[in-house]
């Protein structure tokens, strides 16, 4: 989802000027903020920033102006200014879970994993239903598992992904991440259970559904269940015919079974669609296996 959808437009009645709680400065600030939001939605970012900075100068207590300024900076991939904007917004509205969540996202972009953890934990504390907050926390724990205590943080990541699923039962990304992490940690049966559950909630024919089939196929590969793996890879490709991971894995599984014709067909397709962004060692492995098949004839 585009970050611009998070921009906040406020509408005020000028009747409040005659006796309401809003000051003239606050109304002017909100009007200038709305002007900045419109510029941002038109992708006129320089004008948007100018208007939003003016809004915050007119009324320094307008936390929504700082929030919108952060969103624009994020859209421009200027994460340090976005961090500063969000910290100002949080100082004015410390109980806003969305501000804490967005700060966590920005700190992830800045590789400040401990800072991101603190912000995201505060976000889910303020709003326990914020399933994407648990998901992002799990990602942070995975990064910390590499950098620090692998066992402790890996278990924390499993717990947070599970919480994300509990709070957002249709959030497929959490299922996929949890299944992958279980597999990485060697808990293959648990990985299968999670991905089978994902298939129950995934919409038929969607890319998310294809991803769950491909992931489940890779787990079956690790369990030495080639027929089950082939079934899942084919299901993924029936939805997304050019999915590189599924093409490679299906071709490789057929090769391991000695089915040279099908192995050659799918590995060639993988090489054709892999492109420049494909892992070089996968492309090399596919080419080497194709050469072995050709020489075997």
How many Cα atoms within 13 Å fall on the side-chain side of residue 173? Answer: 10
Report the C-alpha gap between 157 and 110 in whole angstroms.
Answer: 20
Identify the pLDDT of residue 16: 34
| Residue 206 CB neighbours (<10 A) | 13
Each residue's pLDDT expressed in tens, for the chain with a length of 297 residues: 456 667 776 543 333 333 344 689 999 999 999 999 999 999 999 999 999 999 999 999 999 999 999 999 999 999 999 999 999 999 999 999 999 999 999 999 999 999 999 999 999 999 999 999 999 999 999 999 887 766 788 999 999 999 999 999 999 999 999 999 999 999 999 999 999 999 999 998 999 999 999 999 999 999 999 999 999 999 999 999 999 999 999 999 999 999 999 999 999 999 999 887 889 999 999 999 999 998 875
Report the C-alpha gap between 296 and 28 in whole angstroms.
Answer: 78
| Residue 26 CB neighbours (<10 A) | 18
Q: How far is CA 273 from CA 129, 230, 244, 245, in A?
A: 40, 20, 7, 10
Identify the pLDDT of residue 5: 62
Q: How far is CA 58 from CA 21, 29, 45, 148, 270, in A?
A: 17, 6, 20, 45, 58
How many Cα atoms within 13 Å fall on the side-chain side of residue 48? Answer: 24
Q: Which has the closest alpha carbon to 256: 233, 215, 289?
A: 289
Q: Which has the closest alpha carbon to 183: 236, 222, 127?
A: 222
Report the C-alpha gap between 2 and 112 in whole angstroms.
Answer: 23
Identify the pLDDT of residue 212: 96
Backbone angles phi, psi at 226, to 5 degrees: -60, -35
Identify the pLDDT of residue 7: 72
Burial of 259 (0-12, 13-18, 19+ CB in 10 A): middle
Q: How far is CA 209 from CA 24, 35, 36, 186, in A?
A: 52, 41, 39, 23
Identify the pLDDT of residue 240: 97
């Amino acid at each position: 989802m585009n970050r611009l959808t998070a921009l906040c437009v406020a509408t005020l009645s000028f009747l409040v000027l005659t006796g309401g709680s809003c000051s003239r400065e606050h109304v002017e600030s909100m009007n200038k903020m709305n002007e900045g939001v419109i510029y941002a939605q038109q992708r006129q970012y320089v004008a948007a920033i100018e208007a939003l900075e003016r809004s915050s100068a007119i009324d320094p207590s307008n936390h929504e102006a700082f929030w919108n300024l952060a969103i624009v900076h994020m859209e421009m991939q200027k994460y340090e200014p976005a961090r500063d904007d969000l910290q100002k917004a949080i100082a004015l509205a410390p109980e806003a879970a969305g501000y804490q969540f967005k700060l966590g996202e920005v700190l992830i972009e800045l590789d400040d994993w401990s800072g991101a953890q603190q912000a995201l934990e505060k976000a889910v504390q303020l709003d326990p239903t914020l399933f994407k907050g648990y998901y992002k926390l799990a990602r942070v724990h995975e990064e910390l598992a590499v950098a620090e205590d692998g066992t402790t943080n890996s278990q924390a990541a499993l717990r947070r992904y599970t919480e994300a699923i509990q709070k957002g039962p249709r959030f497929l990304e959490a299922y996929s991440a949890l299944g992958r992490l279980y597999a990485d940690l060697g808990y293959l049966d648990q990985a299968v259970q999670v991905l089978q559950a994902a298939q129950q909630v995934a919409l038929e024919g969607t890319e998310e559904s294809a991803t769950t089939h491909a992931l489940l196929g890779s787990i079956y590969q690790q369990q030495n269940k080639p027929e089950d793996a082939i079934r899942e890879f084919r299901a993924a490709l029936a939805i997304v015919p050019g999915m590189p991971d599924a093409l490679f894995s299906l071709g490789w599984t057929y090769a391991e079974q000695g089915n040279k014709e099908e192995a050659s067909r799918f590995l060639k397709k993988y090489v054709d669609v892999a492109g420049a962004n494909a892992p070089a060692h996968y492309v090399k492995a596919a080419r080497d296996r194709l050469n072995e098949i050709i020489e075997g004839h």
